[in-house]
Structure 1
């Protein structure tokens, strides 16, 4: 069947199912961590934090509060913790995820440095105030209306800035991931959900539309493509 990449797919991802056993969920998160390392998934987020540090946005008299929305197995927060330790930036980290299994999996996988506070809950029902809010490879799970709502929510509650990192909807990324996942022998959920995630993902024009609907200007929220097949949206320091 010929796939239409001109619009977002509405296909469901297996990881979003509510009846997944913990062991299956944990093993899937472990392989997703491997995918993220191989595809340089967290590099744009770390670069954003480095930019904020460089302009003095973290020159506070207390630890910088960083919230990761959709923290999953905690691999982004592990990267942030390592970056902060190397740069001498005191941080207070929080991971928020809808899945009841995420906090357990993330805590079991945590190594080194003060462990984040893991919170289970819906981002739209939970307080999100923090200095910096980040979310990585999460927004493609949401509807268009939810994405607009999330942008407005982050902009209202982030004291310094926020950063969205997600996939670029592109046929080369879709078919390339299918081949790579099969070659690497990743978890069946990952082999299924990876291409679906890309089909559910975005173009730059999608993000321009969401930005406008959230009441943000191009000056306030910058959209940029990042290698490989990423589109990021960042709020400049307030």
Structure 2
């Protein structure tokens, strides 16, 4: 693909798996293969290690909300990592797509992640609060208005730290993903939708312009953006708040 076609977000491009009439077999295989792709490129283990784990306790439970959880692989991974570290983390995944929730709920879930069919705004209306609010590969799906709404919802839902990770658009990212996935993922939407996702994603500069006051945007390796918000002094300092 010519570099010129990646200079601006392809906001009119649509991912095949978002079509309500897409092939259910290919869709289920796509959700299943997200676990592989995300383990290689999403960077969530590093985010957990550096930003979430220091704020967890072996005695006092913390809560985490995964917005747009899809098949639930990131939500389950975070719960598993915390359990392996002997730390208390109760994870809830939400998604407005019933097909994603069906897949998430039928996948083995030994760490007891809760999955709900819901939008973040519904939890705001229900006055729900969580210590952590996250999303993975959600930002590039959103219009500018929806991105602002997600940040507002996150601020209202979050007691501690909000972390939204997504792809960072570049010609190098597009070429690397195109070449790296060519021999694989032939019977799913991973490759074609992944390339569309890169075209729809933000550059770091674009995301900084779209970020609300109080939010920060970092470029992470490889080809990642992290949009974050610290609601508490503990989250800002990277450690637990002192007792009153």
> Does TM-score exceed 0.5, indicating one fold?
yes
TM-score by length of 2: 0.85
Moved more, 59-68 or 159-168: 59-68
Q: Report what 1:6 is aligned to.
A: 7
Number of matched residues? 227
| 2:117 equivalent among 108, 117, 120 | 120
Matches within 5 A, 1:73-222: 73-113=71-111, 115-127=112-124, 129-211=129-211, 214=212, 216-217=213-214, 221-222=215-216
Q: Report what 2:34 is aligned to.
A: 32
Gap change, CA 1:130 and 1:186, over 3 Å in 2: farther
Structure 1, unmatched stretches of 5+, are none
Give the whole-Å Cα distance in 2 for the aligned partners of 1:187 and 1:124: 34
Deviations along 1:11-63, whole A, 9 cap, x unmatched?
0001111123543321111122211122254234323xx43442xx4359742
User: Cα distance, 1:75 vs. partner?
Assistant: 0.8
Q: Report what 1:229 is aligned to.
A: 223
CA contact (8 A) 1:175 1:195 kept: no
TM-score by length of 1: 0.86
Deviations along 1:175-194, whole A, 9 cap, x unmatched?
22111111224434112100
CA contact (8 A) 2:217 2:228 kept: yes
Give the whole-Å Cα distance in 2 for the aligned partners of 1:60 and 1:82: 14
What is the RMSD computed on CA atoms of the aligned residues? 2.1
Structure 2, unmatched stretches of 5+, are 233-244
